[in-house]
Structure formats: C-alpha cells, structure tokens
A = this chain, B = another copy of it.
Amino acid sequence: MPGQPNPVRRITIVDVARHAGVSITAVSKVLRNAYGASPEMQTKVRAAIEQLGYRPSATARGLRGRTYTIGVLLPEIRNPFFADVLDGVTEHLDGGEYQLLMAQCRNDEACEARLTDAMIDRSMDGVILIAPVSSRRRLQAVARTVSTVVVGRHGHSADYDTVTDDDVAGAGLVVGHLAELGHRHIAHIEHFETDPVRLTEMPNAQRADGYRRAMNAHGLADGIDVVSTSYTQEGGYLGAQRLLDREVQPTAIFAGADIVAMGVFDALTEAGLSAPEDISLAGYDNTTFAAFGPISLTTVDQAGHQMGVDAARLLLDRIADRAKPTAQLKLSPTLVARRTTAAPSTRGRI
C-alpha cells in the first residue's frame, strides 16, 4: 500500500465554502483580508478553514494573482558571507505572508538565466539576486518582468533596487591598516574580470580599484602588485603561490574575500610560512571563518545581515508599488583587525 493511496483529494476553497455555507468569493475575501466580509463571515470561514485543515493552493493563486513566493539567487552556498545575507532576508520575511525559496548559481551566466526564468515561470512575486554576473541588459529584462532587488552589484538602474557595500572604501581600509603597520609592498589577489560592465559593477572589481587608489593615496604606487585568479579557496591558493614565487615577496597580502584568504593560508602553510610572522594577511567579508579562533583573520565587515534585511525590505516595498522610483543603498564597511596582520618582519628576507 505504499504509493497510490486513495488519491487524497486536497481540500479546496469550494470545500471550505460549502462547509461554511457561504460563497467561494466570501472565502477568497477572507483569505486575502479583502474588503467586504463581515466579522461573522470571517469567523465562520476561519472556523471552516481550521476544521478542514484547508491551505490555499499557491499554484492556483498564482494563475490569477500572486504566489506569495520570493526567490533568492545565491552565487555560492559555501561562501558564508552569502549565508549572512540570506539570514537577513529570512529574518525580515519571517512571519510575513511570503515564502522564500532559493537557488544557487556559481557565477554562471547561463545558470542565472535559467534560474531567473524558472522563477518567472513560477510566477514568483519578487526576486533577490545576490552578486549576479549576468549582463545589465539581462538584469533589466528580469526586473521588468518581476520585482527585483540586486544585492552586491553596483550600477544604478531604473528597473531594480540595489543594496551594496562601499567596496572601494573597504579596500581602502585594508590598505590603510597595512600601510600604517609599515607595509609598503602590499599585494592584492583579485577575481579575474574582463567584461567591461562587470569591471565597473562587480564588488571584486571595485575592491581591486579601491586597492589601487589607496596604494597611490598612501604613496605606495611602487608597492602595487596584483594577481588575478578567482574568489575561491583555490584562487587564493594559486594566487599566493604566484606571489611567493616573486623575486621580491610582498610583506602583506590583501585577499579580495575571506574565502580567498583561506587558500592563501593553504599556500603559506605549504611553504612553511605563517601569518603574520612571515607575511601579513587580510581578507574581506568578515565571515564566521575569519572570526574563528585559530584563524583570527583581519578582514572587512560589510554587514551582510543588514544587507539582507534591507534587500527584503526594498523588495516588499517594490512588490507593493511597482512604480516607485528605485533606490540604491550603499552601506559603509568597517575594518576588523585581528591577528593575521602585524608590522612587517625582516625574517629571512634579503
């Protein structure tokens, strides 16, 4: 008897109406808290709903009105920073009438297109795109179809709201901190990027830009040293290896993300080096990993949780009023100095 039980017909609005002895419309109105249902009506209907254990079909609702569903597109579930953002979104939506469903795309434009389409096909009421790599044109197209908030990507649009961190300033904080400690040769591991739009809009590009600007501002133009890999642990590992192979090694490495710093750790350990004794190391994001005792990574806090809360709020506002002008929220990052940065040592150096 496992499968194929009696085809448990789901309770529908018709059942509720019949059971309560009212019209279908009446039930619908109560469900939506719409105008035109007397208190007694409300009570009767709610009682019937309760007794029958009725739950409205989001599918059927979606065909006419809304599905009460919000989609979140994550670039990478392993990067704890995105979990922080997600927590913020969840917290703001909790208790409300919207359900959150998410999907993952690892910096893959084709995947993003597929998934945003899938969300639109499922009549989602709104979507939050976290650090999407899609073209501007594509983002605009999505946003014109469904209420959209873009998180972690710069660039204004009349079609979607944005929530970002001031990545240029964040990179500046790191460089300032290291320069103050006495470092002059500060290397940066960036996420490789060639697309001109992404070069302007993606956080990784802005961090690299902020790094260069800050180095110049501190009179350290000669100490600028950038390697391009990717914002992954492997990218950090490979990037650090390249830096360690330099004739003159940098005294500090600014990894564009904490996850990159993890890879740098790998390479350092492999080379018998450690931070900050041999090389100072800083990351970006202030993930739980960075705070972890044995690591204690100096990093930049960009308040992912708050970004999530703001994104959810903006999305609900936009769903409520599709025509309201778009907003661009830019949060200010702060430096979290921990144990992986210190004054440069001369140990073993020529």
Task: Give me the interface of A with B, judged by CB distance under 8 Å.
Answer: 1-5, 8, 55-60, 62-63, 67, 69, 71, 77-78, 80, 83, 86, 90, 99-104, 115, 117-118, 120-123, 144-145, 158-159, 233, 262, 265-266, 269-270, 288, 292-295, 318, 321-326
Question: In whole Å, how far is A70's beta carbon from the nearest beta carbon of chain B?
Answer: 11
Query: In the assembled complex, how far is the CB of residue A130 from the closest CB belonging to chain B, in whole angstroms?
Result: 13
A3-B323, A99-B118, A265-B294 are known; give 5 further A-B pairs, CB within 8 A.
Answer: A67-B122, A78-B83, A99-B103, A99-B115, A266-B293
The 8 Å CB contact of A101, one of B3, B78, B90, B101, is B101
Min Cβ gap A123→B in Å is 4
Q: Please judge, given known A-B contacts A2-B159, A293-B269, whether A121 and B83 are in contact too, CB under 8 Å.
A: no
Tell me if B86 and A77 are in contact (CB < 8 A).
yes
- Contact (Cβ within 8 A) B265 A292: yes
B-chain residues with CB within 8 Å of residue A323 when the two chains form the complex:
2-4
Q: Are A121 and B56 in contact (CB under 8 A)?
A: yes
Is A71 a contact partner of B101 (Cβ separation < 8 A)? yes
CA distance A115 to B56 in the complex (A): 14
Complex CA gap A99/B115 in Å reads 8
Of chain B, the residue at the smallest CB distance from A322 is B3
Determine the main DSSP class of A at the interface with B.
mixed
Inter-chain CA distance A323–B101, complex, in Å, is 29
Closest chain B CB from A185 CB (angstroms)? 24
- 29 pairs across A/B with beta carbons < 8 Å? A2-B158, A3-B321, A3-B322, A3-B324, A5-B144, A8-B144, A55-B121, A59-B62, A59-B122, A59-B123, A60-B63, A69-B122, A71-B101, A78-B80, A78-B83, A86-B104, A99-B122, A100-B103, A102-B103, A122-B122, A233-B288, A233-B292, A262-B292, A266-B293, A266-B294, A269-B294, A270-B293, A294-B294, A294-B295
Q: Is the Cβ of A59 less than 8 Å from the Cβ of B63?
A: yes
Residues of B within 8 A of A265 (CB): 292-294
Is there an interface contact between A4 and B322, defined as CB atoms closer than 8 Å? yes
**Separation in Å of the A77 CB from the closest CB of chain B?**
5
> Closest 3 CB pairs between A and B?
A3-B323, A3-B322, A266-B293
Chain B residue nearest in CB terms to A324: B3
